Amino acid sequence: MDLTSPDSSLEYADEELAAFLDHRPAGRHHLLVVTRRHIRSVTHLSGSADDTSLIRRMEALARRLLSERGADMSDVRLGFHWKLVTVGHLHLHAISPTHEMSWLQKLEFSSWILASVGETIKMLETKNS
């Protein structure tokens, strides 16, 4: 991933995480938070305390960026594709407002396909127990 490309829609980058606008937004605010280090998906994490901490840092960054963009923080969907993986790199979707999503987008980003941060952490914790 070339984060220096003018087409990257980069919103944030540090040594660990980057965030950019989704190229097919499901809402007025649709960001992807990714790890700079390649991790194929949530299921490729070991479930260690470092892994759950990484997920929480991704969530905190997503919430901060949505807030800074003026998103309605009471109408946000955050989640990971690990039930059905379509992109081979760990990424967190941050979408707002969800009430403006089309029925197809609501299906694509439903809990059947997109796991919440809490559900993801629970899965990782059981993996490590």
Q: Could you tell me if 49 and 82 are in contact, meaning their C-beta atoms sit under 8 angstroms apart?
A: no
Distance CA 108, CA 71 (A): 21
Catalytic site residue 91?
yes
Q: Which of 89, 91, 93, 99 is catalytic?
A: 91
Structure tokens at 74: 């009471």
Q: Which amino acid is at 84?
A: L
CA dist., res. 13 & res. 82, Å (int):
23
Q: Which two tokens stand for residue 109?
A: 């980003």
- Active-site positions read 91
